[in-house]
Structure 1
């Protein structure tokens, strides 16, 4: 027994040293990309037990390849504002991995967009797409353009300029973009229209998130939020807890947040707090989601406007303070690294039992460690928010077959996909006696499919 133990310790040190070297090489090659470094670090930590068991992934250099994108595209986007002044932004598309299918991932328009963020999103997208079980690779794109405060004509001109450059790198069997933060059906429409003009062909499958009237899938708008709740439902069931009757706190008030709140409410949960950049609202008796949905999506208002409907609700200006609200379930659905170690400690102190990431990497590494160390069931973003890309692929399938499924058909398929993702994560963790660590399960399950496809295709 002592001999076996010593051998295992030696093997563990060998794998750890190898992973440390991979991480150091990533940081050395691109030293100013902290978000990408963070995503790589979490991933490498998670797959250590797999590499101990299956060292051929190291022998074949799969890790060295998988942390480097296949292609990074950066370009200038020039457009003219309503005052006739020429504006310049920087656009990106990172085509990270195409081992299991054409590149697939959203486009983000936000002032914070830079290469580090686009690379971290593309890296995560690779394994997220793998987890869906569908034949799509990983990519991400965007620009440091802020659509807020812009007229529709300004947004249209920017989108047309962005697509004019991007069009040469995408196609239904090459790379299929979609929406993300700052890119909704309007922006998708402008980009698709420009692509169609450039190519002179109606290739509906070149982009997803389209309006249903010209090839979009019903249920796509709701998919990420709904999918997060379907995954959460499975998480809670396995720890003997029901989503019905649970108190829920949700950060953000965009599509992911709104539809996560909507589905949680439909399943009997009580949403007690939500936020936007101005602050957060709290009502211990629950927020009426349909009212909030109208305020945000129709009236284009702020969460504080909800107080006009229910004066018993309180508004607090510091949006980060939302994590001080006692709850059973926390759903960070706003942006990356919004929930830190201090927030996690506060949530644990107040009795949180489950956290599911609706946004991409919204919890810092230290925050996730707090949750795991305190027995909080934790759903990582690449698994919990995969519903959006899953329905995007269903949109691609409908476009290819020239069919349109009903909302109910799409939603049924979404539920099946999210349940399969959860089961695959759990199965992967159980192989390594860590059934409560879904971060590890998601990364191992997602990695194995991509890595095995890379091996099968040879060094390319």
Structure 2
């Protein structure tokens, strides 16, 4: 079909100089081509192109004053990608690398991730090219308040519900929520990831990391294996990485490596609960480099950022939890040659396309982020429900709900593999096709809007 051949080219031409967005779109396009070929109505309704076109992109100036009294200027964004299944839902990222391409790719990925959860969630993403690192609490507060001075016009509990992402934790969510409440004079669930004393949910900080390990567990059950005694690598040292390590230890796995922007740690003896507490202290509390970890534990070796990466360490399982395109084809080859059996993504699009192709071809179990790291947005959705009901659920209830949702995502992938005749345990194409079909049906039912 000529239209299908021109589809990807047209999207690229419409969105020039946006490589991350192009990468995300190309992956899904390749997965769903067989579906489009068998559904003429989807093609005629231009559903894929409509999913690729944000419903709204908001870009705005953010002016704030630093501790020296100097005015600083940043750029803020909110990409409201798709509302076919519910209000826009997705995180905020505060990082110097933030631009429209990155946020559009993240919002696009969010469409499919949110659909897989089974919850009534649309998709969005936002943030700013602001770097919280090295800033005082006062500077972060003033920036967050300035960001919200514009963004409050475009968000709300039934419209768009942002959450945290890189550079946006509970501190930033608190300042953003306080500003919104002051401006609107309303206490509503406009943000998720809030503190548990003021509208937040238990388990939300742990949700992405726990969900990631749950999904890896379900993947391994398909090959009659478990995480117990598996040697694991977890890139990153932020919240998702820390919690993934915590859950892996609970499952009996041995975590021998983790990283941050300064380099990586190799600890052949493996992480322990005491070591994890120290890692949380230096990263979440003191905001120091992980090199301090090696200073404190003789078994650990720190390698500064350079040619060598964390993926050079032999391991059974890998969990990239840092950022997009952190793991390339050479890393994938090294991991596979060193005995890798499973890779599940904790970050969004952390593997390059060539790395994914290599992993798929080498029969490594590959869990794409839109399925494996959906636990965070799932519990965010449950936080929204609690806010609307005006009540809190127990940790026990939420742990049960999270595991149920991750199991349902896994089962949806297996069902899609069987229905569409995909290769055995092809989670990548299954996640893309299963999510696309759900969003496409909703958009079709709602008409051309």
Q: CA deviation at 1:432?
A: 2.3
What secondary structure, in the 3-state scheme, does the structure 2 residue paired with 1:326 have? coil
Which residue number in structure 2 is paired with residue 307 of structure 1? 294
- Cα root mean square deviation, aligned: 1.2
Counterparts of 1:243-282 in structure 2 under 5 Å? 243-282=227-266
Q: How far apart in 2 are the matches of 1:340 and 1:55?
A: 36
Counterparts of 1:241-390 in structure 2 under 5 Å? 241-288=225-272, 289-318=276-305, 321-390=309-378
Counterparts of 1:48-447 in structure 2 under 5 Å? 48-203=33-188, 205-288=189-272, 289-318=276-305, 321-434=309-422, 435-447=424-436
Q: How far apart in 2 are the matches of 1:400 and 1:214?
A: 14
Q: How far apart in 1 are the matches of 2:336 and 2:68?
A: 51
Q: CA deviation at 1:213?
A: 0.6
Q: How far apart in 1 are the matches of 2:61 and 2:253?
A: 46
Q: How far apart in 1 are the matches of 2:223 and 2:38?
A: 28
User: What TM-score do the two structures reach when normalised by structure 1?
Assistant: 0.95
Which residue number in structure 2 is paired with residue 6 of structure 1? none
Q: Which moved more, 1:59-68 or 1:322-331?
A: 59-68
Q: Is the 8 A contact 1:250 1:332 kept in 2?
A: yes
Q: How far apart in 1 are the matches of 2:298 and 2:181?
A: 49
Note the alpha carbon deviations across 1:136-176, whole angstroms, 9 max, x for none.
10000010000000011110010001001000001111000
Q: How far apart in 2 are the matches of 1:152 and 1:356?
A: 34
CA 1:285/1:55 → structure 2, altered by over 3 Å: closer, same or farther?
farther
Q: How far apart in 2 are the matches of 1:413 and 1:215?
A: 19
Q: How far apart in 2 are the matches of 1:301 and 1:78?
A: 28
Which residue number in structure 2 is paired with residue 4 of structure 1? none
Q: CA deviation at 1:108?
A: 0.4
Which residue number in structure 2 is paired with residue 449 of structure 1? 438
User: What TM-score do the two structures reach when normalised by structure 2?
Assistant: 0.97
Q: Which moved more, 1:299-308 or 1:263-272?
A: 299-308
Q: How far apart in 1 are the matches of 2:379 and 2:412?
A: 18
Q: How far apart in 2 are the matches of 1:302 and 1:66?
A: 40
Q: How far apart in 1 are the matches of 2:65 and 2:300?
A: 43
Which residue number in structure 2 is paired with residue 44 of structure 1? 29
CA 1:353/1:115 → structure 2, altered by over 3 Å: closer, same or farther?
same
Q: How far apart in 1 are the matches of 2:298 and 2:146?
A: 45
Q: CA deviation at 1:75?
A: 0.3
Q: CA deviation at 1:63?
A: 1.3
Q: CA deviation at 1:335?
A: 0.2
Q: CA deviation at 1:297?
A: 2.2
Which residue number in structure 2 is paired with residue 9 of structure 1? none
Q: CA deviation at 1:196?
A: 0.8
Q: CA deviation at 1:183?
A: 0.3
Q: How far apart in 2 are the matches of 1:377 and 1:326?
A: 16
Number of aligned positions between the proteins: 444
Q: Which moved more, 1:361-370 or 1:401-410?
A: 401-410
Unaligned runs of 5+ in 1: 1-13
Note the alpha carbon deviations across 1:98-125, whole angstroms, 9 max, x for none.
0010100100000000000000000000
What secondary structure, in the 3-state scheme, does the structure 1 residue paired with 2:206 have? helix
Note the alpha carbon deviations across 1:286-343, whole angstroms, 9 max, x for none.
1223332233223333222222432022111137511111101011000000001111
CA 1:19/1:330 → structure 2, altered by over 3 Å: closer, same or farther?
farther
Unaligned runs of 5+ in 2: none
Q: How far apart in 2 are the matches of 1:312 and 1:94?
A: 45
Q: Is the 8 A contact 1:251 1:331 kept in 2?
A: yes
